[in-house]
Amino acid sequence: MTTIKVPGRPTWQQTMLRIKDPAKTIPFYTEHFGMTVIDTLDFPQYKFKIFFLSTLPEGESYTLTPGTQEAHDYMWTIEGTALELTYNYGTEEDSENFKGYHPGNQDKDGFGHIAFNTDDVYAACEKLEKAGVTFKKKPDEGRMKGLAFAYDPDGYWVEIVKRSEGSNISNYFNFSQTMLRVKDPVKSIAFYEALGMTVVRKKHFNDFSLFFLASSSNIDQSVDYANIPDSEAYSKLGQMFGPVLELTHNHGTEKDDAFNHFNGNEEGRQGFGHIGFLVDDVYAACDTIREMGYGFRKEPDGGSMKGLAFAYDPDGYSIEIIKRGGIEFGDKKVEK
């Protein structure tokens, strides 16, 4: 079997969630989880605005103004992964017609959660609860002790995970995961490996398996992740500063031709939108992605925004392909 590799050094750059009210959601992530708004894209002509948030290393100051060309230049060359929050104008005021976004975790939903690592889950959850954050699961509830799931203002699940000992990460929290459910891990892993990701840990249980994939900028190139003991893989996973893509496979779904996950973009189930990758050349990358046979939601020259694409992965999740360095998005820029 020929191994496909997408050219142009693809790196995982974003996870997108739709939000109802940025006045609530942005402070949730900046004040409670220490994230920084590093850029915005405002499209008044289309009535939506995008906020990009990132975990910066503790002590690093960010002096650029989101929405300026300088912030755009920074955003579209980052090696890490940002949380993209998309706001459609007016949703926060339309309580009669707009009931909110679909946070996932219902029958056949694909998107599961995002996550943050911290040194002490119990102390962190106590701090969050005192600040008014609500929980799906507290650290000592349920079968799996020592981890928690908080709710963000839109009802998305935010997992709180213990960081590995010896991580040398001084941030109280760091953005650490995006979880998606997959039907067939063989197909999904091959797809994301073609986009430059590496399986850094596998964990098998009786009826499901977890696969953790990291982008090239987030791994130790000297480590042979496929051949280290699980204890070492677990430790290295918990020491990573940037997030991993967690693929959850419920055993047997790959044998059911009729089974599909909802991808977050269906009418009435919109919430999670996509993940995105930076590449050097969108057109060359898409030529190779096309060979994998899963199709495109938007070709590079389709629609009004030329030079970026949305491919489908094996489960129908949207995968944005963006030129490293950015393009002219047609947004209303902030003037300094």
Output the pLDDT for position 142.
Answer: 85
Reported as a single tens digit per residue, the pLDDT across 209-265 is 999 999 998 999 999 999 999 999 999 999 999 999 999 999 999 999 999 999 999
Reported as a single tens digit per residue, the pLDDT across 278-310 is 999 999 999 999 999 999 999 999 988 899 999
Instruction: Give the span between the Cα atoms of 187 and 225, in whole angstroms.
Output: 19
Spatial CA neighbour of 283 closest among 262, 305, 300, 270: 300
Number of H helices, E strands in the chain: 6, 16
Q: What is the largest CA-CA distance in the chain?
A: 56
159 catalytic? Reply is yes
Spatial CA neighbour of 89 closest among 126, 49, 121: 49
Q: Could you please report the per-residue DSSP string of 90-154?
A: TTTT-TTT------S-STTB-EEEEEEEES-HHHHHHHHHHTT--EEE-TTSSSSTT-EEEE-TT
DSSP state of 70: H
Reported as a single tens digit per residue, the pLDDT across 10-38 is 999 999 999 999 999 999 999 999 999 99
Length of the chain: 336
The rounded percent of the chain whose pLDDT value lies above 70 is 99
Spatial CA neighbour of 201 closest among 160, 236, 248: 236
**Measuring CA to CA, how many Å separate 254 from each of 3, 103, 193, 219, 230?**
21, 24, 19, 29, 25
Q: Which of 159, 165, 254, 299 is catalytic?
A: 159
Which has more confidence, 95 or 63?
Answer: 63
Bridge pairing between strands 174-182 and 208-214: unpaired
The mean pLDDT value of the chain amounts to 96
Output the pLDDT for position 95.
Answer: 81
Q: Tell if the pTM clears 0.95, that is, is over it.
A: yes
* Residue 327 in this model has a pLDDT that exceeds 90: yes
- When pLDDT is cut at 50, 70 and 90, the band that residue 151 belongs to is very high
* Residue 2 in this model has a pLDDT that exceeds 70: no
SS3 content of the chain, % helix, strand, coil (to 5): 20, 30, 50
Give ∠ CA 293-294-300 in degrees, rounded to 5.
95
